[in-house]
Structure 1
Amino acid sequence: MSVSDSPVDRVKEHIRRYVETDGADGHEWQPGVFTLLLTTRGRKSGELRRTALIYQPDGDGYAVVASQGGAPTHPAWYLNLQEDPVVHVQVGADKFQAHARTAGPEERDRLWRLMTEVWPDYDDYQSKTDREIPVVVLEPVKG
């Protein structure tokens, strides 16, 4: 099945380079800021949708933030994984299936601090919106 990449041109270009080079170009997006590729199933279309997200490793999994730059609504990828939490992840050249879940309050606080260490703008994004920006944990599926 084909995958539709982000409709945002700069993100689409980032994904193209990431995929073509198996993460050699794109995994480190900016100095010290690493990205992964997250593929979700569209909750309405059923199509596979892929985007690039800043991440931080956490234990065996990875944390990402559903910020959408502080927009008043959640990003489509987050709404998709709420409907179907089975996702595909690529971290550098490593590709795997994962289960996505929203971090609970205490875990979110810890992971939020972890994420703002690498991308301080998340605090600015949170101040722009009344919604609590979710932190998502991507846990690799074993076996």
Structure 2
Amino acid sequence: MSDNSSAVIAEARRDWKTDHLGMYLDSGGAEGHIVDVSDIGGHKFTTTLLLKYVGRKSGKTMITPLIYGDIDGEVVIVASKGGADHHPAWYLNIRESKELEFQIATQAFRATWREPAETERQKIWDFMEGVFPPYKGYQAFTERQIPLVMLSAIGTVERFGS
């Protein structure tokens, strides 16, 4: 998929993403954790989290909602950007820090992160294709290897607010 195609998808879902983030934050996580993404090839009951990080250029705190999976005690997120030819901004931002925060439903955590490699990466990629089947197509659309990010909770934090 070209960056132009990715931009078309992003524009079409911009209001949805904004509304989803607002609902998640406004409810303290009571709403927004489970979403229906069957309209874009996903499942009716898909889990999402909120990822909080600091912008590498702006220094501002940002929150991004992302689909996630849970495997072997770690939370997995995918830096797919719909199969665009470049990485999403959130991924570029977290590469600049060792710790970040995430919220699943009403529970928020401080976390470390890592990227799996080789055999482990393939196992986790296969799992995440089951969580959100469009990932398979996204990888086929781009020459870059779409990063997987494994989050490990190291403590609790306050729920994110709007």
TM-score by length of 1: 0.89
Relative to structure 1, the CA distance from residue 60 to residue 142 in structure 2 (aligned partners, 3 Å threshold; closer, same or farther) is farther
- In the other structure, the counterpart of 2:39 is none
The sequence identity of aligned pairs, in percent, is: 39
- In the other structure, the counterpart of 2:34 is 28
Q: C-alpha distance in 1, partners of 2:93/2:118? A: 21
Unaligned runs of 5+ in 1: 1-6
CA contact (8 A) 2:109 2:155 kept: no
- Considering Cα pairs closer than 8 Å and 6+ residues apart, tell me whether 1 or 2 has the greater RCO: 2
SS in 1 for 2:128: helix
Q: C-alpha distance in 2, partners of 1:93/1:142? A: 14
- In the other structure, the counterpart of 1:3 is none
- Tell me the matched-pair count: 137
CA contact (8 A) 2:50 2:104 kept: yes
Q: C-alpha distance in 2, partners of 1:105/1:134? A: 12
Alignment RMSD, CA only? 1.6
Q: C-alpha distance in 2, partners of 1:13/1:108? A: 32
Q: C-alpha distance in 1, partners of 2:112/2:17? A: 23
- In the other structure, the counterpart of 2:72 is 59
Greater Rg over alpha carbons, structure: 2
Instruction: Please state which structure has a larger fraction of its residues in helix.
Output: 2
TM-score by length of 2: 0.79
Superposed structure 1 runs of 4+ greater than 4 Å apart? none
Instruction: Please state which structure has a larger fraction of its residues in strand.
Output: 1
SS in 1 for 2:56: coil
Corresponding position: 1:128 with 2:146: no
- In the other structure, the counterpart of 1:71 is 84
What residue identity is the alignment partner of 1:88?
Answer: E
Q: C-alpha distance in 1, partners of 2:148/2:51? A: 14
Unaligned runs of 5+ in 2: 1-10, 37-43, 157-162
CA contact (8 A) 2:46 2:131 kept: yes
What residue identity is the alignment partner of 1:13?
Answer: D
